[in-house]
Every structure is written in C-alpha cells, then in structure tokens.
Amino acid sequence: MVLETISGKRSICFDQENHNLTLIGHTWTLLKEGRPFELIDAHLSDTHDYLQQVLHCIHIGLLCVQQHPMDRPDMSSVVFMLSNESEMPQPKPPGYFMKIVTKKRLCLRQARLNVNKHDDRNYTWGSIR
C-alpha cells in the first residue's frame, strides 16, 4: 500500500509498457538501477524537502514484500522504522516480481481497450438493461 501511495498507481492495475513487472517489481528495478525517484507520483515530486522520507518509505515498502516471511519486518518494526531514521536491512528481491498474464486476461484486457477506443456511443442505465 505504501508503494501505491508513493507511485499514485494501484498495484493490481499496474501496467508498465514493454515490461512484465508488477508495481513491486518495477520499484525493485528502479531502486537497483539507482532511479527510485522515478517511482514518485508527479503530485508528490514537488516536495523536495521530503524526498529522503519518501525514499525511506520505499525501502520499508520493499522490506514488507520479501519473498520469505522471516525476512519481512513485523508491524512493531515497521512502526519503529517509519518513525525513525535508523539503519534498516537491505531488501532482497521481492517475492512477487513478475506479472503472470494468462491468455484469458490478455484477451479481456485487449477487448476492454478496443471497446474504449472504438465505442463513442452514449449509454444510459435504461439501455444497458
């Protein structure tokens, strides 16, 4: 949820063109490439005074989605990390990195795109029934 807030994108609907990554995978890639600021939503990027705090939250967000539960911090540790600038462990690659797109989901997504792109009719509640 922290990564959704920072990026302004919903994890379940995240779609990065030409990449088959989840929001978590995209965040991990940006962090490893030294470009974590690219994750930050444009509405938050004006707050230069808070960029270090935002990076701190990205780090915590990645710690919370580690593949092995033993590597994830418990809630009291998360609260402590959020309220302090203390040293944190480095996150390992997250557990849910790649997006699995089934043929059915791909077809449904394409159908929605085609309907939205080519359908300029106006609908009312009465005409839908």
What is the topology classification, in CATH, of domain 2-119?
Transferase(Phosphotransferase); domain 1 (1.10.510)
With bands split at pLDDT 50, 70 and 90, how would you rate the model's confidence at 113? low
Mean pLDDT confidence for 101-123: 52
pLDDT computed for residue 21 by the predictor: 74
SS3 content of the chain, % helix, strand, coil (to 5): 55, 5, 45
Task: Give the separation between CA 26 and CA 28, rounded to whole angstroms.
Answer: 5
Q: What is the DSSP string of 12-81?
A: TT---TT--B-HHHHHHHHHHTT-GGGGS-TTTTT-GGGHHHHHHHHHHHHHTTBSSGGGSPPHHHHHHH
- pTM here is 0.65
pLDDT computed for residue 30 by the predictor: 87
Higher pLDDT, 122 or 10: 10
